[in-house]
Amino acid sequence: MTSTEPTTPAAVDLIRWFDDVSIDDVAEVGGKNASLGEMYRELRRAGVVVPNGFATTSGAYRRFIAENGLAETIATALDGWDGEDTDDLADRARRIRRAILAADLSPDLRAAVAEAYRRLSTEAGGDEVEVAVRSSATAEDLPEASFAGQQETYLMIHGDAGVLDAVRRCFASLYTARAISYRRHLGIDEDDIALSAGIQRMVRADKATSGVMFTLDTDTGHRGVVYITAAWGLGENIVQGRIVPDAFHVHKDRLAAGHLPLVGKEVGSKELRMVFDAGADRVVNERVEPSDRERLCISDAEALDLARWAVAIEDHYSAIRGVDTPMDIEWAKDGDTGELFIVQARPETVHSRRTTSPVLEIHQLGERGAVLCEGAAIGERIAAGTTRVVADPADMASLLPGEVLVAETTDPDWEPIMKRAAALVTERGGRTSHAAIVARELGIPAVVGVPRARAILGSGAEVTISCAEGEVGVVYEGRLAFDVQRVPVAELPVTRTDVMVNLGDPALAFRTALLPVAGIGLARMEFIIASHVGIHPLALLRPDEVAPEDQTAIERLTLAYTRPADFLVDRIALGVGRLAAAFWPRPVILRFSDFKTNEYAGLLGGAAFEPAEENPMLGWRGASRYHHPGYRDGFELELEAVARVRQRFGMTNLQVMIPFCRSPEEGRRVIDVLAANGLVQGEDGLEVYVMTELPANVLQADEFAEVFDGFSIGSNDLTQLVLGVDRDSEVVAELFDERSPAVTRACAMAIASAKRHGRRIGICGQAPSDYPDFAEFLVDRGIDSISVTPDAVLRTIETVAAAEAAAGPGSPLAV
């Protein structure tokens, strides 16, 4: 868009167009003035679509304050405030805002704004185009502080008078009680504050969709992904936490490499749609039809386009500041044209402030209590306290420091009271709502989107808020014991043996990936099938063979899919893709499903396809199913999902592992099935491992080494089968011991065989972290990796380091 200067000379200092390269006092990034015009043009060159507009300059605001003598009014009104009395502050803030709203905009500022608005209207092909009038304060949206929602935005404004009134209201919004309190809390002097009002052509998202996205995972701070939220209508419902939006994760590195790594898709409830009511000349909320609530409101292609733009914006701001700068970005889709637009971008302010040498903080419950309610977990912490239901921020005095705040929702008016709370529970909101953003900034756990939380919890109840168990936040009855480990990552010992992690729950992927581990040593496919699919694979391929009630349930779950089996493929690909994305480029070893027949039968529709076995533990499981005519079709759905992760998503760090493989010949048959489904051993770095959990795997280890790329000792099954001890029997439980000479000898034999053939070998079990002598034994024998559960990682690193020191330079490890 070509820029022309307004004809009024005085207007040069008062307004600037977004695409005017001479702007240098509107956008302030990380304490550095940067040309907004240069940003605008560079982002447009990168393909980012930003609606044009203009802004009053910070100089115009300062001139407005000076011409109306408001500096003294503001100073007098704030003089004597003790920094604590919120009711007193509210009165002082109202006096300031009344003075600003009563003041006159100078004739030249009015003329400049009116002339620019007319030009914007002409370019849009109309007389009085609708615009959004957005506030941008010089101390707002810096990397050090979000000021989330502190200043106002006005939507669907039209006409000279409407625009001028909105500009004045933006000026006044600098002096809400919440904004004054927040600046005082951060030590920002009132004399350093100025505000620009940006006037931007309105994107008619009220007829389509809009949302917020971050160039990191908002819960964990994982930098490898773009997190996108989306909802019907204008985005205010997302920001204010009135709805739970759709959510998407896109992996940055694989996106840049040309792949389509949409590794996360979640349908939100999206109960409300904010639209413009032309008759009332204002925005209103309307209920969303159930059919629209149950489907995603943007396409996969649109999510990927938004992610590309987000990365371009992050790159641009990072280059300006000279440091990595994660971004918080608002986007909108125009319902008239179908175009996507970026309407606002600012530095993310929570995770980006963490030090480069972080302290690893792990919260873990020491006991469990009755579950009172659940919602979306915000943060990774645990807190306990007394509940306090607060209906209005004006009642903030009722919340005592250290209590758990329970509310319907929050907005910026709640921030002074949120600072007192040990934790937060809200009935509405999602992961990018106001409550979630501020809770992260304050470092308190929050559970949002909890229906009837106020009625369930009430005031005066002793509760524990746990956000350390994945994506679901839990409110437990009573004050439960919990532990907090704080370990400076830089102080952890470095081990020659790889310490890896066992992980099956994709919800924990981004959080667990922050641990100092070499990758995932064991990812369980059956966990994803059980928790994210719940349907027997063959029931999706042959639904006519299952019971009528199961058919009905399957039809309901797969309604959005033309081919019912795509439900399983999609769910597995998203779950496995998230694991691989979180740990990229570290290896992720996925064990194919290892359900036993009775467990398969427990899946929806499974009873029609599974035989009744006397001893399922030793029956039709693992490799024997994968090539068998009675199940191969079902296994091939798993392979279709894995191929999507490796090929479409580009996650070539994903490796696969075959469980319960009774002979090398059986292993070859399974590898042939993989190849027939596009997963060729050795192609694009694909490695195929085998579980070492049967005596046959040890006794024929040399032959297995000719088939597979590596081994993983499954210490639980190996111990059970070597000793002949049912690991689930309480009667013989005391006989189950991984340190038995028979078991350790089997482990030593397997390790030696792997070494002879140049194959990697690891162990996935708890014993090395529980028994330091067992870890020392494995290290001494030269095992390549030890994989344990997340809670055992830190002590395992220390145990392995000590074992390596004890083993000395003469151990096989050093060879």
**Which residue bears the tokens 């095992």?**
783
Structure tokens at 552: 């009905």
Sheet holding 262-266, edge to edge: 262-266, 246-251, 225-232, 209-214, 327-333, 340-347
Rounded CA-CA distance 600/534 in Å is 10
Both tokens of 544, joined, read 């006519």
Set 363, 434, 532, 536: catalytic member: 434
Q: Which residues are CB-neighbours of 683 under 8 A, at least 6 positions away?
A: none
CA–CA dist 607, 623 (Å, integer) = 21
Neighbouring C-beta atoms of residue 45, cutoff 10 Å:
9
Clarify whether 185 is annotated catalytic.
Answer: no
The residues facing 361 across adjacent strands are 486
Q: How far apart are CA 745 and CA 723, in angstroms?
A: 12
Token pair belonging to 683? 């192609």
Q: Within 13 Å, how many C-alpha atoms sit on residue 388's CB side?
A: 22
CA 418 – CA 427 distance, rounded (Å) = 15
Q: 493 by DSSP, 3-state: which?
A: coil
Preceding omega of 585 cis (within 30 degrees of 0)? yes
Three-state DSSP class for residue 789: coil
Are 503 and 520 in contact, with CB atoms under 8 Å apart? yes
d(C-alpha 94, C-alpha 89), whole Å: 9
Cα separation of 593 and 635, whole Å?
Answer: 8
Neighbours of 758 (CB within 10 A): 9
DSSP 329-372: EEEEE-TTT--EEEEEEEE--SGGGS-SSPEEEEEEESS---EE
- How would you class 793 by CB atoms within 10 Å of its CB: exposed for 0-12, middle for 13-18, buried for 19 or more? buried
Q: Assess contact for 495 and 394: CB atoms under 8 A.
A: no
The DSSP call for residue 529 is I
170, 373, 747, 764: the active-site residue:
764
β-partners of residue 744 are none
CA atoms lying within 13 Å on the CB side of residue 118: 9
Element (H, E) at 602: none
- Burial of residue 548 (CB within 10 Å: 0-12, 13-18, 19+) is exposed
Q: Are strands 654-658 and 688-692 parallel, antiparallel or unpaired?
A: parallel
Which DSSP helix (H) or strand (E) runs through 642? helix 632-643
Cβ(497)–Cβ(786) below 8 Å: yes
How far is 468 from 368, CA to CA, in rounded Å? Answer: 13
Burial class (CB in 10 A: 0-12, 13-18, 19+), 7: exposed
CA-wise closest residue to 525 among 659, 646, 381: 659
d(C-alpha 370, C-alpha 6), whole Å: 67
Angle at 710 between CA 728 and CA 513, to 5 degrees: 75
Question: Is the Cβ–Cβ distance between 252 and 225 less than 8 Å?
Answer: yes
* Inter-residue long-range contacts of 61-68, CB under 8 Å, 24+ positions, other chains counted: 61/171, 61/194, 61/195, 61/196, 62/194, 63/13, 63/14, 63/106, 63/109, 64/103, 64/105, 64/106, 64/109, 64/171, 67/106, 68/99, 68/103, 68/104
363 included as an active-site residue: no
3-state SS, residue 268: coil
- Residues 46, 334: Cα–Cα separation, whole Å: 20
- Residue whose entry in the numeric block shows the structure tokens 């162990």: 763
Give bridge partners of residue 588 from the DSSP assignment: 520, 654
The pairing of beta strand 404-407 with beta strand 382-389: parallel
Q: What residues are labeled active site?
A: 434, 764
